[in-house]
Structure 1
């Protein structure tokens, strides 16, 4: 191989390694760096710089045995350098300006208080970290600060901590990319202006942040279970990360029913992972999947969690969703699914959590219980509501109902609409097949 070819291969290998590390390790590297920087913007900047440096360094010197450790060390060093530069600037500032010009730059009493509070927080760090042992879970709890609106908590955490691209975060939260970018910017600005400290929340503060943390983990798993964009149906790295964090959260808060409910939901849904596409990569609908290949140990684990949660009293939204998913999984076949019980559970879920996505999902078992015409009326009402205008599964479900009713032209139009909203290539291939009558 020529020198030029060697160099080209080294460049390609380095680029792939950096891309893999960004996908798998971003959250870990950011979580470690923010502990040093104590500022999310600075930590994010240093981590981005570390990845940029890695591209050229790994090309020249080879890919390190532990890319995450290399990136973390580099990002931390840059954060410490930035902090030293700021301290040096502050110490030298009196030599550069007149006394009256210095006044606006001097520490105010509030700043001194912040510094003292920061010193106290530093001393408490080891004790508080024991409350949330997993570093990435600590950062999620930290970002889910109650001073931020929950939409901002979800957006900021999915983008920065979980490493989802802004367009994918926007799809997950059913808003435009521009709206999502503005929401993330506003959240970061509020953190800065309000001087919200980036410290690990104390044990007593965890319950107030739990709902947002559960929402983050659910959306993270959803983005892994069906990738918002790209060539593969799944992003298994995201699904695995969400499962790991849900288990860590269960260990941390074992008495919270919704923590067990979320874990059950993720486990029972992930049990079908191996059967969701065929050998040719084609998307397989639930009724086409080989149920004998579903992970029985995972289904048993989910069942135990659901039973334990239901015994504990009032079921929450994640526990009810897990119970619905478990009923689908327990049926001997798709046709033998207990449709009345599933619709009844959806009715309970809607009363507790009146989400338009839940209402849309409910139309599927309604169509099996009462027929496609009844379900189509419900879907059209949700379409008129407008909140799901960016949700590709609404026109996809509508198209299938119209197909079952023999309204071919209207069904084709709905499939085309779903295609316009879908960026996952496996889902696009499925919809195209349905449109052309090949699936």
Structure 2
């Protein structure tokens, strides 16, 4: 085989130099996926353009609740059957780097529980109408209210789940888990994060920061089933199942998989995987999810800092996975931790760990909407790769989706490589052509 001629060598060298310099340029401009500030700074025009296409609903309600109400880090919110908001906060306690040992044992064992009421009950106008939960909790996390008014709570320091009945707030009617003892067997939790309760009385526990599993219980606390994995390439792998939401008319329980930036939904009866929702606009961290049976079903989510995207709330269509709305307070969110929505979608509440507050949002477009209302075509949507629901059996498609800038840079790099390869191939082919058909001198 004849080698390249002396005139071809400089061409090949030039092509290689161009490829090297372009690859260096692309690598230098690539922003790490988890670099929130860097990614947002570089992609701000793309984020702004996408947000502009969404309905900015619901609207933030300023000066709510009453400014005289004091609270600590707000870890959870829930609505009771009369529309009152229950706020679960940590009082003077703060979850920091030294709060737990490397074995997930609370370092404050021996200290007294939070002496002030950790559950604040606030009405629609922002007035404090009740408070309770003093001298019981150490590090509050999740709260929910079931269909008969029972209040369910989790404490990550105690590694326990509690049920309080409407007529007994001083002593829990049910306690699951062993006080201050983390574990992964049938009798223990490890930093359980959330509870969701079916109308039948069966309930789910997200367990949680250490065990990465969802456990289903009978009304009396007997375990029925569990699912969740720590490692692997599967829709059942969780990285901090942080919150739960029920779409009961659809027979689904949905999990806010915090460190995977997705909502994963499963059949409530047997844990079969149904679908997942994610978006580059939401980013790599998704802290909480709520559901309202309006317009065929809506998922309300909040992301958090460090996920490579603006910290906001988003509204997604359950059926298609399309993002149809976004919301945030004036001055933006800092560290939202949970979300609650009324069944008609007219009111949304989001608590923050820092600053210590609860934000209220109103959406008049959903008022007087019944649960049987037909699906409505959103007036403004943005189709995002990775935001559509993933069908059962699709493996790996639910993973985090790169941003528009990353995709563009990747495409540019691929195009440059393809052009370079084509040029090299042509140079080699010219040599072969010369070998096959010598030029007449």
Shorter-chain-normalised TM-score: which range? under 0.3
Greater RCO (Cα-Cα under 8 Å, separation 6 or more) = 2
| Bigger share in strand | 2
State TM-score, norm by structure 2: 0.21
State TM-score, norm by structure 1: 0.21
Greater Cα radius of gyration, structure 1 or 2: 2
| Bigger share in helix | 1
